[in-house]
């Protein structure tokens, strides 16, 4: 509808009703765009504002919790790999009940103390076989430096037999101190090598 025709109808409507009735809203609509770039669209009681600004994709937040979960899962997996079938078949349940929860607590505590930048570059190394102590090390892939080292040592205690002593070291003291996680009894006989499978 032309602007002049719309204005004429509004004037005629006002004269006919002696100005007592407001003209219909359809006559008051103009073709001129609104200066306000924000439209309000009403859905029942809610009013949703739609802006004319472009949608900006949000950057994915840093998933520190997911990285920690992956590291904890790998810690368990590498530990069981270290044991092999022969040793794992005997100590696995006790390890999961006694040692693994402490190991997870230590990893969570130490890694949460570190910066997000470090978290993004952490990996879990492979265990050593034979009679080596290394279960796994958590290290920074950018620098190649270890952050935490988890080891298990065979101990032949007089009159008792063989025990597996689980412990860890941290880079905070250059891996010097031996921090105990607990021990699991093996047998009076010498245990087989690590990573031996049937």
Q: Over range 184-189, report the average pLDDT.
A: 96
Residue 23 has pLDDT above 70, yes or no: no
| Strand pairing report for 46-50 and 39-43 | antiparallel
Q: Over range 52-62, report the average pLDDT.
A: 49
Query: Residue 104: how many CB atoms within 10 A of its CB?
Result: 16
Query: pLDDT, tens digit, for every residue of 73-116?
Result: 999 999 999 999 999 999 999 999 999 999 999 999 988 887 77
3-state secondary structure of 187: strand
| Strand pairing report for 146-157 and 161-170 | antiparallel
Q: What is the rounded distance in angstroms from the CA atom of residue 162 to the CA atom of residue 184?
A: 9
pLDDT of residue 46: 47
Residue 151's pLDDT band, with cuts at 50, 70 and 90, is very high
Q: What is the rounded distance in angstroms from the CA atom of residue 39 to the CA atom of residue 79?
A: 60
Query: pLDDT, tens digit, for every residue of 122-138?
Result: 999 999 999 999 999 99
Mean pLDDT of the chain: 81
Query: pLDDT, tens digit, for every residue of 155-180?
Result: 999 999 999 999 999 998 999 999 99
Q: What is the rounded distance in angstroms from the CA atom of residue 41 to the CA atom of residue 63?
A: 36
3-state secondary structure of 159: coil
DSSP 109-153: HHHHHS-HHHHTTEEEPPPP-BT--EEEEEEETTT--EEEEEEEE
Q: What is the rounded distance in angstroms from the CA atom of residue 38 to the CA atom of residue 31?
A: 17
pLDDT of residue 6: 65
Cα angle value 60/64/68 (rounded, 5°): 140
pLDDT of residue 104: 96
Helix (H) or strand (E) holding 82: helix 64-94
Q: Which residue has the higher pLDDT, 158 or 49?
A: 158
pLDDT of residue 89: 94
Residue among 165, 117, 107, 113 nearest 138 (CA): 107
Half-sphere exposure of 47 (CA within 13 A, CB side): 5
Q: What is the rounded distance in angstroms from the CA atom of residue 181 to the CA atom of residue 194?
A: 19
């Amino acid at each position: 509808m032309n602007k002049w025709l719309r204005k004429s109808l509004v004037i005629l409507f006002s004269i006919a009703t002696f100005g007592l009735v407001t003209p219909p809203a359809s006559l008051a609509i103009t073709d001129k765009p609104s200066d306000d770039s924000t439209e309000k669209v009403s859905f029942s009681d809610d009013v949703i504002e739609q802006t004319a600004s472009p949608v900006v994709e949000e950057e994915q937040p840093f998933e520190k919790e997911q990285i920690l979960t992956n590291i904890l899962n790998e810690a368990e997996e590498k530990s069981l790999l270290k044991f092999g079938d022969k040793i794992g078949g005997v100590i696995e349940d006790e390890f999961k009940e006694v040692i693994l929860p402490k190991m997870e607590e230590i990893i969570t505590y130490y890694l949460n103390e570190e910066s997000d930048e470090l978290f993004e570059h952490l990996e879990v190394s492979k265990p050593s076989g034979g009679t080596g102590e290394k279960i796994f090390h958590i290290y920074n892939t950018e620098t190649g430096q270890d952050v935490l080292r988890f080891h298990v040592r065979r101990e032949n205690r007089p009159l008792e037999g063989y025990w597996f002593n689980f412990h860890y070291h941290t880079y905070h003291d250059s891996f010097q101190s031996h921090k105990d996680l607990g021990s699991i009894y093996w047998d009076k006989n010498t245990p087989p090598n690590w990573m031996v499978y049937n």
